[in-house]
Amino acid sequence: APDAATSATSATSAAFATSAAFATSATGATSAAPGVPAGATAARPADAATPGAAPAATPSADPAARRHSPLARITPANVARLAPAWRFATGATRGHEGEPVIAGDTLWMVTPWPNRVIALDLATRRRRWTYTPKQDESAPGRMCCDTVNRGLAWAPPAAAPAEARAATRAGRRDAGTVIVATADASLIALDAATGAERWRAQLDDPASGASSSGAPRVFGDVVIAGIAGGEYGVRGHLDAYDLRSGRHLWRGYSTGPDADLLVDPDRTLSWRDGAARPVGPDSSLQSWQGEAWKLGGGTTWGGFSFDAKRGLVIYGSGNPGTWNPRQRPGDNRWTNALWARDLRSGRVRWVFQLTPHDEWDYDGVNESMLFDGPPPARRPLLAHFDRNGWAYVLDRETGALVRADRFDPAANWATRIDARSGRPEVDPAKSLQHAGEDTTVSNICPAAIGAKNQAPASLDPARGLAFVPMIRLCMDMEAFAADYAAGQPWIGASYTLRRAPAAGAGLGSGDSSGDGSDSGDGSATSAASAPRAAPALASPGALLAWDVLAGKPRWTHDEPLPLWGGVLSTASGLVFAGTLDGYLKAFDARDGRVLWTSPRLGSGVVGSVTSWEWRGRQYVGVFSGAGGLAADADGIGRLAADAKPLPPGEGEFVVFALPE
């Protein structure tokens, strides 16, 4: 291990019980799972392993959703020599979110619309096969936020032994199953070796405005998929399918009667009055007026994680419909909430509402990163960086709130989050409910796009730090009456982005922040030209290193544009993130110093950085292809002082490595 990593790790190793990264083994040439082709790099998470499943060693396969790679060949000492290795043009334009999946000598990716699935041979970088789903041309027109697709799931052959046997009989190696959710809300399982369809299912009716943008996941032999369409009055749900047969196992809605939610009122817990308590009968119905819950939103388009020990799928639900809060009095349960469901039955173990009666489109769908607290208790915890600007730590056994802290220093919609009730105290000066319809409320922070959007953070368990891709923008917002029409946008509010005010001491540009344990050189790029006085406005983007258990920042690196791509950290003490103006950057995990910047890519980055090892060499890859909600480059670009987001261009997967 490089000196840098060793010293930083030992300084904080007491922070977490699980100091291992998500993958603890198998970076060699031998197969770690039966049936995985030789040369596979298979990983097994230390505390969230699924029996029978050996996911590829890329961060997208981590059930704990930590995006922390065990790979350590690229280090703070040598990262400056990182050079382009190869690139692959996807043939699609617009928002290339998410990342490919890699196993053995194959890389699978899904493109934005038309959602082509491509299998690449890692040795030749030629296509093995391409699958183009048959979809109605009108499907992408009903996606709220660009024609994105955040990736596919891969399941090893061991998880579907019948297919593996059939493949062997046919004289070829089974390469597992690839699962993709498409713009028209179909869920499709493919033979990973050939691209042949194994089964397909319809997640919801696209004519109602339902679509799929999120990546499905496979946990054991269960496929989990969510739905998008919160801006169309779609009622959110999470669904489970049998990996082998495609049989529907269960559906749990986000709103409605207990039977639809798969809630047992005596056993489902929610955090209230300082304890996790049973929710009580039809607690969702009681928090809506009339039948508003039927169009109530709470879609499930974000990240999923899995606690194998407890058998719990953990995820978040999105905003209530319509955005106009006056049209839906009540807490609007369980929109904008974190959920834990039993993988086998779908039954809810607990649910925690982050933003009751949301007035600002603060979807609660961002990923939850699982980790264990310090010994001896080793409390099972999760960390969640919400759009609403608060960082939550919950007990993942009970859903009890451990702590909530403002990670966006400008967040002003709530004056506090009550530690006893878990309830935010809304500032009436920032409330659309309070202001009434057709009245502009100024300077609400964060903006509707959140202090962090869908781009996933990473969590380094050894350092006890999360690395968060931040958006630092505010908004002026106005609600208005909106009538529902099936399949039409149903928004009921509009907003204008604004720059956020600079934070007070501690988070400003060029100023080290946090607990004083670092060198005082916390803001990397600005170190040389660090302005001594904090600027009046915060930079629109930032990479934030956050001490998860202490609930405070360690360092902040300012970016001129919001960060819209997923972060990767590595065991060697590096943090990687891509930018909307088309760079991939490597940071020192200890202090946020920029150690390497790529040549400018063909388009902006909204994809998630990934890393893998193949034939003894470590690679770092990321999609370039700007889009997603950040395709509103006008809105975002106008606010950037000294950088321009690159336009949505031809998408590419760009790969870097150290010289051989």
Ligand X SMILES: O=C(O)c1cc(C(=O)O)c2c(n1)C(=O)C(=O)c1cc(C(=O)O)[nH]c1-2
Query: For residue 359, which of 293, 437, 451, 300 has the smallest C-alpha distance?
Result: 437
Residue 494 C-beta: closest distance to ligand X, Å: 14
Binding mask 256-295 for ligand X (x = CB under 6 A): ----------------------------------------
Asked if 509 interacts with ligand X (CB under 6 A), we say no
By beta-carbon proximity to ligand X, the closer residue of 157 and 318 is: 318
Segment interacting with ligand X, rule: CB under 6 A, options 39-47, 199-207, 226-234, 591-599:
226-234
According to the binding rule CB under 6 A, does residue 629 interact with ligand X? yes
SS3 316: strand
Q: Is 484 in the site for ligand X (CB under 6 A)?
A: no
Compute the least distance from the CB of residue 97 to ligand X, in Å: 6
| Residue 19 or 454 with smaller CB distance to ligand X | 454
186 in contact with ligand X (CB under 6 A): no
Which listed residue (62, 97, 204, 408) binds ligand X by CB under 6 A? 97
User: Does residue 239 touch ligand X according to CB under 6 A?
Assistant: no
- Among residues 112, 318, 346, 422, which is the contact residue for ligand X, using CB under 6 A? 318
Q: How far apart are CA 579 and CA 542, in angstroms?
A: 10
Nearer to ligand X, 230 or 637 (CB): 230
Regarding 359 and contact with ligand X (CB under 6 A), the answer is no
Residue number, 109 or 148, with CB nearest to ligand X: 148
Q: Which helix (H) or strand (E) holds 37?
A: none
Told to check if 525 binds ligand X by CB under 6 A, we report: no
Q: How far is it, in rounded angstroms, from Cα 281 to Cα 268?
A: 10
Q: How far apart are CA 105 and CA 66, in angstroms?
A: 24
Strand order in the sheet with 68-69: 68-69, 568-570, 574-578, 584-588, 594-597
Lookup: tokens for 218: 């496979």
Q: Which amino acid, residue 515?
A: D
**Among residues 101, 449, 470, 544, which is the contact residue for ligand X, using CB under 6 A?**
449
Task: Determine, following the binding rule CB under 6 A, whether residue 220 of this chain makes contact with ligand X.
Answer: no
Q: How far is the CB of 246 from ligand X (least distance, A)?
A: 23
Longest Cα–Cα distance in the chain: 71
Question: Cis omega before residue 114 (within 30°)?
Answer: yes
Q: How far is the CB of 295 from ligand X (least distance, A)?
A: 13
d(Cα 237, Cα 248) in Å, to the nearest integer? 13
Q: Which two tokens stand for residue 361?
A: 């489109």
- Assess contact for 187 and 216: CB atoms under 8 A: yes
Do 107 and 176 contact (CB within 8 A), yes or no?
no
Strand 269-272 and strand 248-253: the pairing is unpaired
Contacts of 381 (CB under 8 A, 6+ apart): 370, 371, 372, 373, 393, 394, 395, 396, 402
The residues assigned a catalytic role are: 361
Residue 454 binds ligand X (CB under 6 A): yes
93 lies in the site for ligand X, by CB under 6 A: no
Among positions 228, 477, 549, 577, the unique one binding ligand X when judged by CB under 6 A: 228
The answer to whether residues 9 and 80 touch, using CB atoms and an 8 Å cutoff, is: no
337 is a contact residue toward ligand X (CB under 6 A) = no
- Minimum Å gap between C-beta 277 and ligand X is 29
User: Helices in 136-210 by DSSP H: which ranges?
Assistant: 161-169
Q: Which of 15, 71, 119, 145 binds ligand X (CB under 6 A)?
A: 145
Dihedral sign, CA of 159, 161, 162, 166? positive
Binding residue for ligand X (CB under 6 A) from 69, 186, 208, 213?
A: 213
Cα of 284 vs its chain's centroid, Å: 26
For ligand X, which residue of 453, 523, 556, 572 counts as binding (CB under 6 A)?
453
User: To the nearest whole angstrom, how small is the minimum distance from the Cβ of residue 322 to ligand X?
Assistant: 11
| CB environment 14-24: b (16+ within 10 A), e (fewer) | ebbbbbbbbbe
CB of 449 to ligand X, least distance (A): 5
| Residue 359 C-beta: closest distance to ligand X, Å | 14
Distance CA 144, CA 210 (A): 10
Query: What amino acid is encoded at 197 in this protein?
Result: E
CB of 230 to ligand X, least distance (A): 2
- In the complex with ligand X, the residue whose CB is nearer, 142 or 396, is 142
| Distance of alpha carbon 473 from alpha carbon 562, whole angstroms | 8
Could you tell me the smallest distance in angstroms from the CB atom of residue 254 to ligand X?
11
* Contact residue for ligand X among 90, 319, 336, 618 (CB under 6 A): 319
Site mask for ligand X (CB under 6 A), range 38-67, x = bound = ------------------------------
By beta-carbon proximity to ligand X, the closer residue of 17 and 482 is: 482
Q: Work out the end-to-end distance of the chain between its first and last CA atoms, rounded to an integer number of angstroms.
A: 19
Torsion of CA 503, 508, 511, 513, to 10 degrees: 40
Stretch that binds ligand X, among 46-54, 63-71, 227-235, 413-421 (CB under 6 A): 227-235
130 in helix, strand or coil?
strand
User: Measured between alpha carbons, how far is 164 from 519 in angstroms, rounded to an integer?
Assistant: 54
In this complex, which beta carbon is closest to ligand X, that of residue 8 or of residue 234? 234
95 or 156: whose CB is closer to ligand X? 95
Give yes or no for residue 230 binding ligand X (CB under 6 A).
yes
With contacts defined by CB under 6 A, name the span among 61-69, 86-94, 171-179, 628-636 that binds ligand X: 628-636
* CA 608-299-197 angle, 5° bins: 65
Q: Which is nearer to ligand X, 135 or 597 (CB)?
A: 135
The single residue among 45, 628, 645, 651 that binds ligand X, judged by CB under 6 A, is: 628
At residue 153, what is the residue type?
A: A
- Applying CB under 6 A, the span of 156-164, 446-454, 506-514, 548-556 interacting with ligand X comes to 446-454
- As a whole number of angstroms, the distance between CA 499 and CA 508 comes to 14
Stretch 403-442: interaction string toward ligand X, x if CB under 6 A: ----------------------------------------
Q: Is the CB of 143 or the CB of 393 nearer to ligand X? A: 143
Minimal distance, residue 458 CB to ligand X, in Å? 18
Q: Does 301 bind ligand X (CB under 6 A)?
A: yes
Encoded tokens for 442? 């100024």
Kindly write out the interface string for residues 585-624 of this chain, putting x where it contacts ligand X by CB under 6 A and - elsewhere. ----------------------------------------
- Parallel/antiparallel/unpaired status of strands 568-570 and 68-69: parallel
CA distances from 450 to 62, 93, 385, 445 (A): 25, 25, 10, 8
Where does 224-370 have alpha helices with state H? Answer: 258-261
Q: How far is the CB of 476 from ligand X (least distance, A)?
A: 17
Binding footprint of ligand X on the chain (CB under 6 A): 97, 144-146, 148, 213, 228-231, 299, 301, 318-319, 361, 363, 449, 453-454, 628-630
